[in-house]
Amino acid sequence: METVAGIVTHDPPPAAGGRQGGPLIVTEDTELLDDLLRLCAAAGATPEVHHGVPERRGSWEAAPLVLVGDDAARRVRGAVRRRGVVLVGRDQDDSGVWRRAVEIGAEHVLMLPDGEQWLVDRIADVAEGVGRPALTVGVIGGRGGAGASTLACALAVTSAREGLRTLLVDADPLGGGLDVLLGGETADGLRWPAFASSRGRVGGGALEESLPELHSLRVLSWDRGDRIAVPPQAVRAVLAAARRRGGTVVVDLPRRIDDGVAEVLTQLDVGVLVVPAELRAVAAAGRVASAVGMVLRDLRVAVRGPYPPGLDEREVARLLGLPLVGEVPVEPGLLRPDQGTAPPGGVPRGPLARFCKGFWERALVEAGAA
């Protein structure tokens, strides 16, 4: 067992999609119950409360999360072993709590008040029906004009076409807005400035429903007003909410690494560095890779032609010391959707869509999500 801030943690149990309701609380400690009810209310969940194992058949097994007060550990000792049981106490110095946790098969031991924020997040997760986090991919250009935004849009469009819940995030406030690239700058929905004051937890469902929907995916972009700084805490909260919804999240990253971008990098599963096949671009991409690699462990390179003599995609990857994703194909006539053409990756049999489909097939298998 690993102890973190008063909590013994294991991986949370997988949850089915859709809302699951609130947790099951088992305790006779009125003060502890008051605290747990308060935390459930903060998480937007309505719990079921019992003094022992529920008499109603299946209630113990079916609850998405079980919160057992330390006072009730003895009364649930004979219950069916299951995942998602949390033993909740107050006495940090009571060494016997670990033994009682083992006796009831608890996966977590949480001490109040230190573990309150963790428990609120956990309750909200199960109430929201959270299962596997979204596979989160960041795309960044090795130099200006490398085509990172086009590839990010194409990956998101392809993911949505494959039936995955998809969110495209524009993390570059100076990039002009991905909603423009998708032909949806006038679409209804919130943009980044609306989340500048976000703190703590942001509801994943509420976030998804508030954003513009374009080409069967949700887009979090920038508006055309004055630039507003979004604090790192808000970036963290918004991206964490997006990931809790499952599916895929694609982030278009700027080449400069500030505190907000660093927050994004910590939540990425994979980074894709888009590099034109030019020696100067490779040199510039090396500096970007060095900065990104300080935070992100899994950074790969996608190369865009045409190629000069003696340089191809494998040589670019070798020079950068990065795994090769492949060659990003050119899609002729790629314009804005509002000009009567499909968005990047919007032509299912086009070269860019085929490239993106292959990328997702490999990435999902690697993540164990296929």
CA distance 127 to 15: 10
Q: CA distances (Å), 370 to each of 9, 348, 362, 365, in order?
A: 26, 20, 9, 5
What number of other Cβ atoms are within 10 A of residue 278's Cβ? 19
Q: Cα dihedral sign for 215, 218, 221, 225?
A: positive
> Helices 30-42 & 116-128, crossing angle to 10 degrees?
60
Helix H segments across the chain?
Answer: 30-42, 59-62, 96-104, 116-128, 148-161, 178-181, 204-210, 232-244, 259-266, 279-292, 313-320, 351-367
Q: What is the C-alpha end-to-end distance of the chain, expressed in Å? A: 29
What number of other Cβ atoms are within 10 A of residue 79's Cβ? 18
Q: CA distances (Å), 140 to each of 182, 253, 285, 292, 334, in order?
A: 18, 5, 10, 9, 20
Helices and strands counted in the chain (H then E): 12, 15
pLDDT per residue of the chain (370 residues) written in tens, 0 to 9: 333 333 333 333 333 344 456 899 999 999 999 999 999 988 888 999 999 999 888 889 999 999 999 999 999 999 999 989 999 999 888 889 999 999 999 999 999 999 998 898 888 877 776 667 899 999 999 999 999 999 999 999 999 999 999 999 999 988 878 998 898 989 999 999 999 887 667 778 888 999 999 999 999 999 887 777 889 988 988 998 898 888 999 999 999 989 999 999 999 999 999 999 999 999 999 999 999 999 998 999 999 999 999 899 999 999 999 999 999 998 776 555 455 568 999 999 999 999 999 999 999 999 875 5
User: So what's the pLDDT on residue 15?
Assistant: 39
> Is residue 176 packed enough to be buried (19+ CB in 10 Å), middle (13-18) or exposed (0-12)?
middle
Q: Give pLDDT tens digits for 204-236.
A: 888 899 999 999 999 999 988 777 788 998 898
User: So what's the pLDDT on residue 11?
Assistant: 34
Q: Cα dihedral sign for 334, 336, 339, 340?
A: positive
Q: Cα dihedral sign for 58, 61, 62, 65?
A: positive
